[in-house]
Amino acid sequence: MELSIPLFDGLSLRTDPMGRATGYPTARLQKGLLLADGENDLAEEGVGFGVPILKRGAVTVFPGAVELTAQHSNSLWEVTATYQMNLVERLAKPGGARVRSDTLHAAKNALAALHRHSRLLRGPLSATSVALRRAFGWVTTYERTRCWATLAVVHTIRGELGTIDVTVDTNGLPRDDVTEIVLMNEQGARSFDRYRDSSGADLRGVQIGTWDRVAADKASFVCDAHSVAFTLGQMDGARLNRGRELIGSRLAWSGFGYCLPPVCGRFGYGLTVERLT
């Protein structure tokens, strides 16, 4: 099912459960609510609003399939996205053959975790990653694994207000396998290249960081080119992180993640899209 949900002033939310032909490796992932301004796609490589990922130690499990149901009355929509968590990131050789080295993939995952958690090492680690990919011709691919969980995410959208309430129930997760749940809220890095929050922070481009904790009560990503922002806030029981990555044709996302323990049960939050004046 493909949906187009009007908001206001030409803005809309779209779904594409079959994956968009964006040219990015993450086109293989199932996306959430993607923001558009008229015919202008503002999502780029971002996964959209309200998309779960699972952490199993250093391994990240992504959604590879989704079933959508929707009902609406005027500008009030309720969309339920039921995700199958069954993709993992791998390296592939030129031509698409998977690099079959568990040791290499374990090292890659460990270095990716270090990249997220150590601001000082991000520059050298990114440069090393780019150099190795060029030297060996490695590309990112996503490989289907067994379905680790099925997660239903409910979005209640009030189009004329630009508000999205997101709820997920994690009670069915395998507790022994999952170490963390992250609910991602991403759009495009080229579009949303500015971060602001209620503490007065105003960052642009690389100043934003790859994956850093948000301390302010409310935080926003801003697209100055289209005068659009999306905003969310702190929620009890979750750690709120922000991030932005723009690397050639491989990564182009800006957004937030709510990081939850695997025993959180039912979790919900609100998000607002606004047109700036």
Q: Indicate whether 266 pLDDT > 80.
A: yes
Give 83-137 pLDDT, tens digit per residue. Answer: 999 999 988 766 666 666 566 555 656 656 655 665 655 566 566 655 655 555 5
- Tell me how crowded residue 248 is: count the other CB atoms within 10 A of its CB: 9
Higher pLDDT, 19 or 226: 226
> Tens of pLDDT along 129-167?
556 555 555 677 899 999 999 999 999 999 999 999 999
pLDDT at 67: 95
The pLDDT value given to residue 206: 94
Query: pLDDT for 39-79, tens place per residue?
Result: 999 999 999 999 999 999 989 999 999 999 999 999 999 99
Tell me what pLDDT residue 176 has. Answer: 80
pLDDT at 183 over 90: yes
- Using DSSP bridges, classify how beta strands 76-92 and 239-247 pair: parallel, antiparallel or unpaired: unpaired
Task: Measure CA 276 to chain center.
Answer: 23
> Hey, which residues does 163 pair with through a beta bridge?
158, 272
Q: Please tell me which residue, 22 or 14, carries the higher pLDDT value.
A: 14
What is residue 131's predicted lDDT score, i.e. its pLDDT? 60
At residue 207, the pLDDT reads 96
How high is the pLDDT of residue 177? Answer: 85
pLDDT value of residue 210 = 93
pLDDT of the residue at 162: 98
Instruction: Give residue 39's pLDDT.
Output: 95
Q: What is the pLDDT of residue 21?
A: 56
Q: Per-residue pLDDT tens for 206-249?
A: 999 999 999 999 999 999 999 999 999 999 999 999 999 999 88
Domain limits of the chain? 4-87+153-275
- The whole-model pTM stands at 0.89
Asked if 15 contacts 37 with a C-beta cutoff of 8 angstroms, the reply is no
What pLDDT does 105 receive?
53
**CATH number belonging to the domain at 4-87+153-275, selected among 2.70.98.30, 3.40.50.300, 3.30.420.250, 3.40.50.11720:** 2.70.98.30
